[in-house]
Amino acid sequence: MFIKKTFWKATTAFLLAACISLGGFVQTSYAEEDLMEFAKKSGYPIKEGYRPKASIVIDADSGQILWEEQPDLSWSPASIAKVMTMYLAFEAMEQGKFNLDTTVTATEKYVKISQIYALSNSKITLGVEYPVRDLFSMVAVPSSNVATLMLANLVSDNDEAGFIHKMNEKAAELGMTNTTYFNSSGAQISAFDGLYQAPGIDPEGDNKSTARDLAILTYNLIKKYPDVLQFTNKPVVTTMENTPYAETFETYNYSLPGAKYGYDGVDGLKTGSSPTGGFNYIATAKKGDIRLIEVVLGVGDWSDQEGEYERHLAGNAILDHAFSTYEYKKLLSKGSNKINEKEITLEQDFYGFAKKDTELSFTLADGKLSLNNEYDQVSPTIPARSVPYQESNSKSVVDPSAKSEKKKATQPSSIKKEEHPYLLTGILAILGLLLLILSKIFRKRIAGTRRGSRKTSTPTTRLLFILGTLLILSAVCVFIFL
C-alpha cells in the first residue's frame, strides 16, 4: 500500500510540475481582455504600431482598477507633467495664498519664453496682468509652457528649483512611488534658452512617471479639487475674454464631445506629447453616477503625428470596455448574509463595481467586508470599498450521539480517499496537459497561416486553453484537499 501510494504521489507531483513549467501556455489575458480585440469590437479600432506602451483605467471614486496593461512601465509623461503643477496651484489656493482672480504681471522674461517657437505657448504681452483663471485655461488647453511657469512661480514665490522639489515631495506624499520631476511643464529646462533657472536641477532631466502614478495623481486631484474640470471640459476656450489680448484655442483632447473623436461623458483632463514620450493622454469620463479615470502612455512615435489622434481611439476603446464590462450596483443587502460559510450581518447595503455576469466573492477581515477584485487598488494607500459587518454568534446544537454515528459512517469513505485521490489527480492533470498542448499546437498553426497578424487564437483554441486550465486547477484542488 505504501509503495502504491508513494508512486501516485510522485506521478501526480511530476505532472503538476510539468503543467506549471509550461509558461508558454499561460496567456496574459483572454481574448475579450486584449486591447486590440476589444478596441475592434467597440468601434474604435487601433492601428498596428499605435498600441499604447502602458495604460490603466480606474474608478474615480474608489481607486479600484478596472483594467490595466503595463501600469508600472516608466515613461516620459511630456506635458501631462502640468497636471502636478495645476494640483499644487489648487493646493496653494486652498491654503489662501491666492485665488482665481489673482493676477500675474507679464515680465520681459515671460514674453521671451512665449516667443520660443519650439515650445507650445500662448501669447504674452509685456506689462499685462493675467488672472490665474486664464493661466489655468492656457495650461490645460493649449498646454502653454509660459503660462505653466507663471503659475508655478506664483506658487513658489519665483523659486523655480523649490517648486520642482515641491512636485517631487507631493508625488511621494500621494504614493506616486515611480515618479520623478525635473521641470514643471514637461519641456526640459534646457529648452527655455536659459530663461528657466532651477539651481541644483539637471537641465537635461526628463520627467518620468507611470500610468499607475498618473492615475493616482488624477484620482487625488479630482477628489480634492474637482473645479479643475471646468478648465478641461470644453473643446474650445477663449482666454482674456473682452480684452485686446483675447485668444481662442481648440483642445488637443479630441475625445471631448464635440471634438474629432468625441466620446460621451468625457470631461477632461490633459494630453501630452514629446520626442521621448510619444503621445500620452489622461481622460476622465462620467456616465450617470460613475466616473472613470484613464491614462494612456506612449502611443505611436513623435516622428509620426498620427499618434496625436490614435491615442484617443485607444482611450475611447479602454473607456468603452470598462463601462460595458463593469457595472456599479448593490452587491449585498443590509442585514443577514452568508459569506464564506459564515453568517454575518451587514450594517448597510454594500455597493461596488463588479464585472457583469460573474460570480462574486468577498473577503471578511477586521470587521469589514470587501469585494474580491480581479485587479488591486491603484494604490495601497487607497482602501478598497468596504462595509462593516458583525458575525453571528449563534451555533446550532448537535446531538453528541448523532455526531458519533456520523463519524463512524464516514470512516470507510475516508479510507477510499486515501486510496484514490492521487489516481484522480493524475488523470485530471494528464487531460488538462493534453488540452493545453492541443491549444498551443493549433495556435502555432494559425500563427503560421496568418503571418503579420497579432491574432493567433480562435474560439476553439481559447476553449481548449480554458478547459485545460480548469482540469489542471481541479487536479491541484484534489491533490491539496482530498
User: Which residues are catalytic, by number?
Assistant: 79, 82, 143
Provide Rg for the chain, Cα atoms. 28
**Which residues make Cβ contacts (< 8 Å) with residue 238, sequence separation at least 6?**
246, 247, 248, 249
Asked whether 422 and 5 are in contact (CB, 8 A), the reply is yes
3-state SS string over 370-423? EECCCCCECCCCCCCCEEEEEECCCCCCCCHHHHHHHHHHHHHHHHHHHHCHHH
Helices (H), 420-458: 421-449
- Residue written as grid cell 455526531: 403
Please name the helix (run of DSSP H) or strand (run of DSSP E) that holds residue 195, with its range, or none: none
Q: Which amino acid is at 108?
A: E
Q: Residue 276, class by beta-carbon neighbours within 10 Å (0-12 exposed, 13-18 middle, 19+ buried)?
A: middle
Nearest Cα to 100, choosing from 135, 76, 128?
A: 135
The answer to whether the annotation marks 47 as part of a ligand binding site is no
Binding-site residue positions for substrate: 270
Binding-site residue positions: 270
